Amino acid sequence: QRDAVGDDFEALIAADQRIEPRDAMPDTYRETLIRQIAQHAHSEIIGMQPEGNWITRAPSLRRKAILIAKVQDEAGHGLYLYSAAETLGIDRQELLDRLHDGKQKYSSIFNYPTLTWADCGAIGWLVDGAAIMNQVPLCRCSYGPYARAMIRVCKEESFHQRQGFEILWNLMRGTESQRAMAQDAADRWWWPALAMFGPPDTGEAAKGGHTAQSMAWGIKRFSNDDLRQKFVDMMVPQAEKLGIVLPDPDLRWNPERGHYDFGEVDWDEFWRVLRGDGACNAERIAHRRRAHEEGAWVREAANAYAAKQATREQQ
Ligand code: FAQ
């Protein structure tokens, strides 16, 4: 038998209305959102590292200015998302501890290295492209603060994707070695970008997955495989425009389905990376912990300032 609180929640979900922080909600709904929003926030701040690696080496002042702004946007998205998670009654420090202790995940994609300048182009084009595909539906997520945060984040991501495309566009119109660099970056980032959408909807991995419940709650609006397909369909014409060959011999238009067919992601690699065994997992967390420790004085100063302002207001 359900109580009135449960009924209110179910009625709001059934009517496709937003759940707000003060509304009663099942613990499992709250936990699912804390998990997803925290992972998303962690991805944004860990995601600053691969591109941050190129700020000192960007090939021109213009590229450097754009890259700094992009990485700063990612920090902003992280802060926005931690604030959204806090509306669910969890403390930001607790979330950061969980990230640092490996108890919460961040996106698999950020465990791959940025070896050349073209990787900044590939990240913008493919990784931000995948992020947008995943996040536009989240603007209609049933949890109000998350849905609203996604609106601004998506606008910024679409700028990020264009700047990535433009980096690759210029490289593809450059020298032979610049074209080779762009192609190599696309070769290395294509499959990890497809894996960003999460494990397939069917098979072993799907059994322990969250999709069915998250879709019933209006958190997820599309399954992982549906978003992956939409992403492939969007990217193939863009790759053709760039003159980049996507590294998949099985990629071809299927007129019956009205979609591109494509090959299978290496899911063993995906799970290996999630278990901590990717090229950069250890480096990413070590750098994050160090940045957090070195930033302690900033948090202390901000807290001292806030406390001083609060006392002044009382006087
Ligand atoms: N990496 O049942 P599902 C960005 C985990 S974009 C790591 O499908 P769910 C922008 C999943 O957590 C990237 N883990 O789970 C940017 C679960 O494990 P758990 C961030 C993954 O939650 C661009 C298990 O596998 N975007 O940062 C991944 O329903 C450039 C089973 O999976 C978001 O986080 C993965 N790729 O669906 C920044 C978007 N995929 O938690 C800088 C919001 C799955 O039980 C530079 N999140 N797992 O231990 C989502 O939409 C969902 O959480 C999914 C996963 C779709 C990622």
Q: With left for phi above 0 and alpha for psi between -120 and 50, is residue 218 left, alpha or beta?
A: left
8 Å CB contact between 164 and 224? no
Backbone angles phi, psi at 51, to 5 degrees: -80, -35
CB 43 less than 6 A from any atom of ligand 1: yes
115 Cβ contact partners less than 8 Å away, ≥ 6 residues apart: 185, 188
Tens-level pLDDT at each residue, the chain (315 residues): 445 567 899 999 999 999 999 999 999 999 999 999 999 999 999 999 999 999 999 999 999 999 999 999 999 999 999 999 999 999 999 999 999 999 999 999 999 999 999 999 999 999 999 999 999 999 999 999 999 999 999 999 999 999 999 999 999 999 999 999 999 999 999 999 999 999 999 987 777 899 999 999 999 999 999 999 999 999 999 999 999 999 999 999 999 999 999 999 999 999 999 999 999 999 999 999 999 999 999 999 999 999 999 999 887
* Angle at which helices 61-86 and 27-46 cross, to 10°: 160
Taking only Cα atoms into account, the Rg of the chain, rounded to an integer number of angstroms, comes to 21
Task: Tell me how far apart the alpha carbons of residues 155 and 5 are, in angstroms, rounded to a whole number.
Answer: 35
The pLDDT value recorded for residue 3 is: 54
77 Cβ contact partners less than 8 Å away, ≥ 6 residues apart: 41, 44, 153, 156
The pLDDT value recorded for residue 5 is: 62
Work out the angle at residue 110's Cα, subtended by the Cα atoms of residues 104 and 113, and round it to the nearest 5 degrees: 140
The pLDDT value recorded for residue 314 is: 83
Cα 122 to its chain centre, rounded Å, is 15
Q: How far is the CA of 300 from the centre of ligand 1 (A)?
A: 32
Task: Tell me how far apart the alpha carbons of residues 26 and 28 are, in angstroms, rounded to a whole number.
Answer: 5
Q: With left for phi above 0 and alpha for psi between -120 and 50, is residue 203 left, alpha or beta?
A: left
Determine the residue type at 216. Answer: A
Number of C-beta neighbours around residue 268 at 10 A:
8
Mutate which of 29, 31, 39 for ligand 1 pocket (most atoms within 8 A of beta carbon): 39
The pLDDT value recorded for residue 1 is: 41
**With a threshold of 0.90, does the pTM exceed it?**
yes
The pLDDT value recorded for residue 208 is: 81
CB 73 less than 6 A from any atom of ligand 1: no
Task: Tell me how far apart the alpha carbons of residues 47 and 192 are, in angstroms, rounded to a whole number.
Answer: 14
What count of Cα atoms within 13 Å lies in the side-chain half-sphere of residue 195?
22
User: What is the predicted ipTM?
Assistant: 0.98
Task: Tell me how far apart the alpha carbons of residues 36 and 30 are, in angstroms, rounded to a whole number.
Answer: 10
Q: What is the number of residues in the chain?
A: 315
Cα 109 to its chain centre, rounded Å, is 9
Task: Tell me how far apart the alpha carbons of residues 266 and 167 are, in angstroms, rounded to a whole number.
Answer: 28
Mutate which of 138, 141, 207, 210 for ligand 1 pocket (most atoms within 8 A of beta carbon): 210
CB 152 less than 6 A from any atom of ligand 1: no
- Burial code (b: 16+ CB inside 10 Å, e: under 16) for 182-218 equals bbbbbebbbbbbbbbbbbbeeeeebeebbbeebeebb
The protein residue whose alpha carbon is closest to atom 28 in ligand 1 is 198
Determine the residue type at 73. Answer: D
Q: Ligand 1, closest atom to CA 220?
A: 51
CB 230 less than 6 A from any atom of ligand 1: no
Task: Tell me how far apart the alpha carbons of residues 52 and 47 are, in angstroms, rounded to a whole number.
Answer: 9
